[in-house]
Amino acid sequence: MDIMEKLTILADSAKYDASCSSSGSTRTNGKFGNTAYSGICHSFSSDGRCISLLKILLTNICIFDCKYCINRNSNNVKRAIFTPEEICQITINFYKRNYIEGLFLSSGIIKSPDYTMELMIKTIELLRHKYHFGGYIHAKAIPGCSEYQLKKLGSLVDRLSANIELPSNESLKLLAPNKEESKVSKIMNYVKVNQNKNFTPAGQSTQMIIGASLETDLDIMNKSENSYHDYKLKRVFYSAYIPVNQDKNLPILKMPPLKRENRLYQADWLLRFYNFKVSDLLDKNHPNFNVLVDPKCSWALNHLNEFPKEVNSCTYNELLKIPGIGVTSAKRIITSRKFFKLNFNDLKKMGVVLKRAQYFITCNGKYNLNATLLSSSFIEKNLFLDDAEKEIGYGKQLSLFN
């Protein structure tokens, strides 16, 4: 099998992992190549996702039989395995042509977790030590491997992570019978405890598949919130379930739940940067996000009695909760308003989306609209039905939920 055919097979089987970020590393060594703290996207694939890393599996041979996975043991697909040298050659040749920021290496489980990890370590050691590669490397740890291997691999890579895959242990038992939650959390805990500038400097992330099992958005967000808290994760990735296999335990979908995935990402941002808690956004009576309204607006509409806010005097935290104001514009408002009183035009120059924010703010006591219009029915009608119509016009994604 030539290298091109291997690349075809092993990129094809790696593409369902959502993570491709190359940011956050502060590592400085390496004669050939470096990392950019902000991360760099080198291309965008036909599905609009960023391509930053060479995302491949070492092998798609796998002893596990996870129901949702294209590489499951019981699937009759063509199998391939890269040699460490082949991976190095592709990585350095892609890197020097500026196609990529580095390597994302994951693997099916061949023979045993220990054996697979050994191959991954050998590959990345070769890349770092023989080729002096200083670019970004994100490796997936294999659940069940030894602590010694985690230590070794973690000191070679920028990011080392393990995927939660499914939001609850019950779903894991149902859909990934060979996987154990405890083995994944063991890896995540090890990385958390040992992380420093020489050991996984860019920290760890994880991924959950959305829509393959029965969990509500509340379950998923609670799992995320706990993981951020317990393991100091940099990111949780949400991956809309793509039906690649048939199984009695899997749902039958025509389209992956992309809009739901989008809402979860928005809510995830609210947790990490906007000081929201899951309990602000969802509760037992409303366990799922509204597909038509983004979570922040939805929160604001349910708390209209707290609005409008005066941008010249409210706190940073209050600014963050106003729809149409993001972290950057909130910071700009805070630093600028010490020096002059802000008006609507100034807000626009600072990147505030007035189309959204105008319903929820006053500037120097002035409300941009007729004050009687501060009602959720009016705002909903003006803001979201417009958006919803637009989206329905563009794609068929919403049809799933109607």
Q: Which of 37, 49, 315, 373 binds another protein (CB under 8 A)?
A: 49
Q: Which of 26, 85, 93, 229 binds another protein (CB under 8 A)?
A: 93
Q: Which is nearer to another protein, 99 or 378 (CB)?
A: 99
HSE toward the beta carbon, residue 351, CA cutoff 13 A: 9
Q: What are 286's two structure tokens?
A: 């409303």
Query: What is the x/- site pattern for another protein, positions 350-379, by CB under 8 A?
Result: x-----------------------------
Among left, alpha and beta (phi > 0; psi -120 to 50; other), residue 211 is: left
Q: From the CB of 8, what's the least distance to another protein, in Å?
A: 6
Q: How far apart are CA 193 and CA 229, in angstroms?
A: 13
Alpha carbon distances (Å) from 86 to 51, 92, 199, 210, 213 = 20, 10, 25, 34, 37
Q: From the CB of 94, what's the least distance to another protein, in Å?
A: 6
Q: How far apart are CA 267 and CA 16, in angstroms?
A: 22
* Contact flag: residue 45 with another protein (CB under 8 A): yes
Q: From the CB of 220, what's the least distance to another protein, in Å?
A: 19
Specify the 3-state DSSP secondary structure of 213. Answer: coil
Looking at the chain, the number of H-run helices and the number of E-run strands are: 16, 11
Specify the 3-state DSSP secondary structure of 357. Answer: helix
Q: Which of 167, 211, 256, 295 binds another protein (CB under 8 A)?
A: 256
Number of Cβ atoms within 10 Å of the Cβ of 224: 24
Q: From the CB of 92, what's the least distance to another protein, in Å?
A: 10
* Contact flag: residue 393 with another protein (CB under 8 A): no
* Contact flag: residue 94 with another protein (CB under 8 A): yes
* Contact flag: residue 98 with another protein (CB under 8 A): yes
Which burial class, exposed, middle or buried, applies to 394 when counting CB atoms under 10 A from its CB (0-12, 13-18, 19+)? exposed
Q: How far apart are CA 271 and CA 275, in angstroms?
A: 6
Q: What are 282's two structure tokens?
A: 């969802």
Q: What are 318's two structure tokens?
A: 């209050």
Q: From the CB of 372, what's the least distance to another protein, in Å?
A: 30
Specify the 3-state DSSP secondary structure of 237. Answer: strand
| Residues near another protein (CB under 8 A), total | 54
Q: How far apart are CA 255 and CA 130, in angstroms?
A: 45
Q: Which is nearer to another protein, 95 or 360 (CB)?
A: 95
Q: Which of residues 286-345 bind another protein (CB under 8 A)?
A: 332, 335-336, 338-340, 342
Q: Before 308, cis peptide (omega within 30)?
A: yes
* Contact flag: residue 273 with another protein (CB under 8 A): no
Q: Which of 1, 41, 193, 373 binds another protein (CB under 8 A)?
A: 41
* Contact flag: residue 240 with another protein (CB under 8 A): yes
Q: From the CB of 333, what's the least distance to another protein, in Å?
A: 10
* Contact flag: residue 242 with another protein (CB under 8 A): yes
Alpha carbon distances (Å) from 200 to 26, 205, 246, 305, 317 = 10, 11, 37, 46, 32
Q: Which of 219, 318, 346, 380 binds another protein (CB under 8 A)?
A: 346
Choices 6-14, 77-85, 171-179, 296-304 (CB under 8 A): range interacting with another protein: 6-14
Q: Which of residues 12-31 bind another protein (CB under 8 A)?
A: 12, 15-16, 31
Residue 291 host element (H or E): none
Q: From the CB of 19, what's the least distance to another protein, in Å?
A: 13
Q: Which is nearer to another protein, 282 or 342 (CB)?
A: 342
Q: Which of residues 105-164 bind another protein (CB under 8 A)?
A: none
Nearest 5 degrees, angle CA 250-CA 253-CA 254? 150
Q: What are 80's two structure tokens?
A: 């391939």
* Contact flag: residue 265 with another protein (CB under 8 A): no
| Binding stretches for another protein (CB under 8 A) | 3-4, 7-8, 11-12, 15-16, 31-34, 36, 38, 40-52, 54-55, 90, 93-94, 96-99, 240, 242-243, 255-256, 258, 332, 335-336, 338-340, 342, 346, 349-350, 394-395
